[in-house]
Amino acid sequence: MAFRRPDVHGVVMALVPILLSLLGAGAPAALAAPPALPPASRAPGVMRLAPDADARWVSFDLTPGNQIRFEMTVDGRALTAILDTGVSYSVLAKRYAEAAKLPIAAGGSAAAIGGAVDIGWVATREVALGGLVRTGGGLSVADLPAIATGSARPVDLLVGRDMTGNYALDIDYAARRFRLLPSGRLPFRGESAPLAISREKRVYIGEVTLGAARLRPMVVDTGDGSAITVTSEGWRAARLTGVRTTTAISFGLAGSVVSTIGIVPALAVGQLVARNVEVRVEPVGGFSEAIGAAGRIGSGFLQNYRVLLDPAAGRMVLAPEAGADEPPLRSTSGLLVGVEPDRLRVLHVMRGGPAAAAAGWRAGDLICTIDGAPITRDYAITPLATWSAGEPGRTVTLGMCDGSIRKLTLAAFY
């Protein structure tokens, strides 16, 4: 089987997307005195885009969770960030803020995958990203665990709508680079779809047509490692037949959620018709429903295209990359695993999969070897990581960290 992104599909975390949506400020939380002041009430700072912004490409890599990871500076200090258009106000890791001895003010609370999270606030002098510099303003602060990227190391910052929303964001997934341009620029040709900033939640929103349903608003979320996510109501409205489904787990800032997933033959995003798309269906009362959205368009979908996000111009432009309509890699093991420095942790056993049919598999199990090969720190980018989406019929020998051995025969099950 060919190895291609997204490697979250049966490879590194076997279909586990990492959902980092932090949408707006809610009721104040009692973090400290004086009472919390939400991000929307604070001074936004002054943005300046360099005249040569066209040439200010930012190189990135994709995390095992399919997020865009890169380096930038805050107050002259280099840090690691993720580009996350599903975040209203950029979020600095509490761990980083405390290590840098930054004064953290109370910031209220925010809706996130899995529930609500407390947030703080730190003032900044200068935030620099490619050709964009913001002076003044500040950053929200929250816990950003390593599981948020699917890798062994956490990131320091989520760069959200407050930094990018006034510009055209050109993401070249194939070349692993992005840049910010003046709104209205059209650096490449592709299929167009409507795009805006939600007035209430202050995130990027678009729409999709799935089966018989036109679903909107859909949060366009580069920080969401999955492809397309819809509400239970949206899935029912689509009236699709013949789609085999299973279950998967998603992780957000506030916890985990188990959803249904399946591969649909086609869906439309504006003028673009995409084929063989993985769709995740949230449980009733899930995150999207709770925030009044129809679902999310994530990086697992966007990475198949050259992408221009320009909400000020009202458009998203998608130009297919080679293989954009190829079927995504599917788990054939039925195990969703997270990467730790020298082991894999089972996060979820997928409904109807080989692991569910075998005895003994459960969340929390630790795997230390695969066919005798140890789990190394660079496991996520090695061919070994493809085992869980391997050829049906292959038997994989898994060495558990307690010294026992388990065998698992791979199979197609959704």
Q: Residue 13 domain-assigned?
A: no
- Examine the domain organization and report whether 84 and 174 are in the same domain: yes
- Examine the domain organization and report whether 192 and 260 are in the same domain: yes
- Examine the domain organization and report whether 70 and 49 are in the same domain: yes
Q: Tell me what pLDDT residue 359 has.
A: 79
- Examine the domain organization and report whether 261 and 313 are in the same domain: yes
Q: Tell me what pLDDT residue 356 has.
A: 96
Q: Tell me what pLDDT residue 207 has.
A: 98
Q: Which of 268, 285, 320 is the last residue of a domain?
A: 320
Q: Tell me what pLDDT residue 39 has.
A: 76
What percent of the chain lies above the pLDDT cut of 90?
75
Determine the Cα–Cα distance for residues 154 and 47; give it in Å rounded to an integer.
27
Tally of structural domains, the chain? 3
Q: Tell me what pLDDT residue 381 has.
A: 82
- Examine the domain organization and report whether 41 and 63 are in the same domain: yes
- Examine the domain organization and report whether 26 and 175 are in the same domain: yes
Q: Tell me what pLDDT residue 398 has.
A: 97
Q: Tell me what pLDDT residue 32 has.
A: 31
Q: Residue 10 domain-assigned?
A: no
Q: Residue 265 domain-assigned?
A: yes
Structure tokens of 228? 């397309």
Determine the Cα–Cα distance for residues 347 and 334; give it in Å rounded to an integer.
11
Residue-wise pLDDT for 244-286, tens only, equals: 999 998 876 667 889 999 999 999 999 999 999 999 999 999 8
Residue-wise pLDDT for 320-346, tens only, equals: 999 999 999 899 999 999 888 899 999
pLDDT range class, residue 4, cuts 50, 70, 90? very low
Residue-wise pLDDT for 47-76, tens only, equals: 999 999 999 999 999 987 889 999 999 999
- Examine the domain organization and report whether 118 and 211 are in the same domain: no
CATH number for the domain including 396? 2.30.42.10
CB 67 within 8 A of CB 147: no
Q: Which of 180, 210, 234 is the last residue of a domain?
A: 180
| E strand spans, 244-394 | 245-252, 255-269, 272-281, 295-298, 305-310, 315-320, 335-340, 343-349, 366-370, 373-374
Residue-wise pLDDT for 103-158, tens only, equals: 999 877 776 666 677 889 999 999 999 999 999 999 999 998 887 666 668 999 99
Q: Residue 123 domain-assigned?
A: yes
Task: Look up the domain containing 140 and give its range.
Answer: 22-180
What percent of the chain lies above the pLDDT cut of 70?
88
Residue-wise pLDDT for 374-400, tens only, equals: 999 889 889 999 999 999 999 999 999
The mean of the pLDDT values for the chain is 88
Q: Which of 140, 161, 180 is the last residue of a domain?
A: 180
**Range of lowest pLDDT (22-26, 30-34, 100-104, 154-158):** 30-34
- Record the pTM: 0.86
CB 162 within 8 A of CB 134: no
Q: Tell me what pLDDT residue 18 has.
A: 37
CB 152 within 8 A of CB 164: no
Q: Residue 325 domain-assigned?
A: no
